[in-house]
Amino acid sequence: MSRDEFFGTIKGVIVITLAMMAGGYTLTTIMLVFTDFKDAGLHYALSTIFPVILTPIGTFPLLVMAHRLRIMKNELEALLRLDGLTELPNRRAFFELAEKAFRREGTVTMMMIDIDHFKQVNDTYGHDIGDRVLRSVAQSIQHIVGATGGSGVKFAARIGGEEFATLVEGLNPETAGRLANDLVEQIARLPVSGDGQMLSVTVSIGVAHRRAGDTPSVVMRAADNACYRAKRLGRNQWRDADADADADAAPAVAVQSAA
């Protein structure tokens, strides 16, 4: 038990002891008023002595046990929000943190990161190597996102299978693009070995930015669509949802002008 935990428990024992003493004094006073109660001084003394002696003996172990149960409860709740393989927050934790971020003002950028051809890695090298790839990619994402600029919240999570997500506050589109590019390039250089040979691990990334009225799910869906576009265009690259929307609109305008 730590020093703070010990003194917190002692404080609880003192509070309960004082409450027991107050109850004893109150009961003694009522008995004096409404009954033919003798030896008031003795009973007031007993109302002091018994709580002082017996309450710490009875309550200290219970308070210690209650404190440890609270710790266990907090640890279990933390585990429910943690991905056991990569030790990143899981999907549930990601959206809980995202909801808090979306209640604040400022820019919010979300990214969907998908490992390319991950099923082929599992089928060729086995799930042990696949797990190694997941852990390596997770650590790389966490390190790169943690080192990026911005004064707001930034975190990464594994949201399922070979899919990861990030949320960073305070990035403009240009800085967000540099972050996505760093993720693509540095993950492609990861030293992951399998069956005595180095594996080529790449990712496709979709980037999306919050707009007024957007929810985390809306932005995540936009990032997911951009990620699929990156895969369709050849993988090992990133796409921005807003830039893609502008690019899709541009050909229609050009054709119309040519006509």
The CA-based angle 87-158-84, given to 5 degrees, is: 30
Whether the per-residue pLDDT at 231 is higher than 60: the answer is yes
Q: What pLDDT is stored for residue 254 in this prediction?
A: 33
Gyration radius (Cα) of the chain, Å: 30
Q: How far is residue 199 from each of residues 33, 125, 126, 161, 169, measured CA to CA in Å?
A: 88, 10, 13, 19, 33
pLDDT in tens, 65-116: 666 666 666 555 565 678 989 999 999 999 999 999 999 999 999 999 999 9
Judge if pTM exceeds 0.85: no
Whether the per-residue pLDDT at 255 is higher than 50: the answer is no
From 175, 158, 190, 143, select the one nearest 240 (Cα to Cα).
Answer: 175
Band of pLDDT at residue 237, cut at 50, 70 and 90: very high
Whether the per-residue pLDDT at 220 is higher than 70: the answer is yes
pLDDT in tens, 238-252: 999 987 665 554 343
Report, as an integer, the average pLDDT of 147-161: 88
Whether the per-residue pLDDT at 28 is higher than 50: the answer is yes
Q: Cα separation of 106 and 71, whole Å?
A: 35
Q: Cα separation of 259 and 255, whole Å?
A: 6
Q: Which of 62-76, 138-152, 165-179 has the highest mean pLDDT?
A: 165-179
Residue 53, token pair as written in the block: 């002696």
Report, as an integer, the average pLDDT of 4-24: 68
Domains detected in the chain: 3-80 (no CATH), 91-253 (3.30.70.270)
Which one is predicted more confidently, 156 or 42?
Answer: 156
Decide if 209 contacts 102 (C-beta within 8 A).
Answer: no
In the three-class reduction of DSSP (H, G, I as helix; E, B as strand; rest coil), residue 215 is classed as coil
Percent of the chain with pLDDT over 90: 52
Band of pLDDT at residue 259, cut at 50, 70 and 90: very low
Name 109's bridge partners: 168, 209
